[in-house]
Amino acid sequence: MPQTTFEQRIEIGQAIRDSVPRNSHSSIGNVKRDPIKLLKANSAGRVERLIPLRYGRMLASPFAFYRGSAILQAHDLATTPHTGLTVQICGDAHLMNFGGFATPERNLVFDMNDFDEAHPGPWEWDVKRLAASITVAARSLGFKSAAADKMVFNAVENYRTCMIEFSKMGSLELWYEMTTFDELLKRSKYEEGRKAIARAMDKAKGRTQKSLLPKMASKVKGKWQFREDPPALFHHAGENTLFKTKDPARRPDLQKVFYDKYFKAYLGSIRPSHRQLLENFSLQDIAFKAVGVGSVGTRCWVMLLTDLQDQPLFLQVKQASRSVLAPYVPASKSEFKNEGQRVVTGQRLMQSASDMFLGWVDGPVNRDYYFRQMRDMKVAFELETLSELMLGRYAWLCAHILARAHARGSNGLAPQISGYLGKSVQFAEALVNYANDYADQVDRDFDHFRDACRSGKLIAQSEADFGADIRAQ
């Protein structure tokens, strides 16, 4: 097949408008489904004792619920119009899945940081997930509808203009493109923004492997051990374990088996130079850690290793389940049988720089896992602290990052997407309508979810109640 030119690809994208008009993206799709049934299905296979905590965290607000219910929007998005342009997508591109972290060269960058649902899919799905999250967040913070609409419009317009810019870049130029905090600080037009960025940079400096050690572990008989803090952190077979008696995770030799078998298998998924680096470290301890909102209950381990100078390395080993998008995208679109490899590959494609210890493994009991560093200069902007102005600027920045990630993972489709979006604001206007209507749907789903928790159809526990139950055991 002869190679198409840049101009021809632009024209291909423009032609798609005839069958999928840009204003058609205002549709929220078929939302006639049982949200409780889908949420229960999404909880299957998790640590059973932690599922009430997951629901308890989702009860905090409609935005918290939105974060934890990606499966609902995945179902709904599958029935919305799309261009047929399939790229590598995040699958869960809401506002809180962006943040700061250190590159292997120790530069602090802002980028996407959660790829549990990463999967090939229509680029529009990520943009719609982001747009709806802006409106849901703005409502949760008490901002007026007009302000939320402006935020969504500006963010989606920035996605459009950035996609045009990125589609014109050379492949290597695009690959090297990244957004550092130093750049953000230099380019910020507002004093409030500069202060927020500076605070984040200062916070990142204190979130190192070395600083984490005394906060999470203590020495017992010459060996570092995690200090338990259930449900956030506990040992698999200790007195505070939340695993059932017959759960394979309770086996006394799990730590040895995990390290001798699965850790060594993971080493085959990273660069030889990084494998050699890890040979300088020895295992001190392994514990279970409950993380996030939507991820609560999935199996997530933390490993503490130290080198000859007793300097620490914390690795997170997180279960990778099937993406919520998988049922709605043809199987041929994903080449991976290992879900951890799916997550890692998506992350490496979409991020401007990825953790050098990022890798995957076939884990015990037919579960897949991926590895990454824990905490390493990771920072997140706390949405509840942002003013109306700063939330809008933050959303605008996230759209920029998303456009770049899509362009990187588009396999040459960025010009087609750019051609489709064109110079019109039609797509942005459509997504303002989409975000409003879908935020209404989130409110309805949240009410349904809250009623299910109150009636006992779902069991939810707050952090305080969960902790009290554990202490009473």
Full-model pTM: 0.95
Looking at residue 466, its pLDDT comes to: 72
Question: For residues 142 and 386, is the Cβ–Cβ distance under 8 A?
Answer: no
Same domain, yes or no: 134 and 256: no
Same domain, yes or no: 216 and 358: yes
Confirm whether 297 is domain-assigned. yes
Structural domain ending residue among the three candidates 373, 401, 421: 373
Same domain, yes or no: 109 and 165: yes
Structure tokens at 387: 């003013």
Packing angle between helix 426-455 and helix 123-140, nearest 10 degrees? Answer: 60
Confirm whether 111 is domain-assigned. yes
Q: What percentage of the chain carries pLDDT values higher than 70?
A: 97
User: What are the tens digits of pLDDT across the range 36-82?
Assistant: 999 999 998 888 889 999 999 999 999 999 999 999 999 999 999 99
Same domain, yes or no: 22 and 98: yes
Confirm whether 34 is domain-assigned. yes
| Residue 363 in this model has a pLDDT that exceeds 90 | no
Same domain, yes or no: 60 and 200: yes
Same domain, yes or no: 125 and 11: yes
Confirm whether 1 is domain-assigned. no
| 172 beta partners | none
Same domain, yes or no: 52 and 194: yes
Please give the Cα distance from 422 to 450 (Å, whole number). 42
Coil, helix or strand at residue 456: coil
Confirm whether 17 is domain-assigned. yes
Cα–Cα separations (whole angstroms), residue 222 to 256, 283, 284, 333:
18, 13, 10, 50
If you average pLDDT over residues 137-162, what whole number do you get?
98
Confirm whether 326 is domain-assigned. yes
Coil, helix or strand at residue 86: strand
Looking at residue 1, its pLDDT comes to: 42
Q: Sorting pLDDT into bands at 50, 70 and 90, what band is 398?
A: very high
Confirm whether 460 is domain-assigned. yes
The most distant pair of C-alpha atoms in the chain lies apart, rounded to whole Å, by 71
Same domain, yes or no: 357 and 235: yes
| Residue 144 in this model has a pLDDT that exceeds 70 | yes
Same domain, yes or no: 360 and 409: no
Structure tokens at 204: 């990142």
Same domain, yes or no: 317 and 411: no
User: What are the tens digits of pLDDT across the range 269-285?
Assistant: 999 999 999 999 999 99
- The residue segments making up the domain with residue 328 are 209-373
Cα Rg for the chain, rounded, in angstroms? 22
Same domain, yes or no: 166 and 47: yes
Number of domains the chain is built from: 2
Confirm whether 378 is domain-assigned. no
Packing angle between helix 339-350 and helix 388-408, nearest 10 degrees? Answer: 110
If you average pLDDT over residues 230-244, what whole number do you get?
83
Same domain, yes or no: 309 and 438: no
Structural domain ending residue among the three candidates 373, 399, 428: 373
Structural domain ending residue among the three candidates 308, 340, 373: 373
If you average pLDDT over residues 161-189, what whole number do you get?
96
User: What are the tens digits of pLDDT across the range 308-340?
Assistant: 999 999 999 999 999 999 999 976 666 788 999
| Residue 393 in this model has a pLDDT that exceeds 70 | yes
Contacts of 309 (CB under 8 A, 6+ apart): none
C-alpha triplet 54, 135, 344: angle, nearest 5°: 55
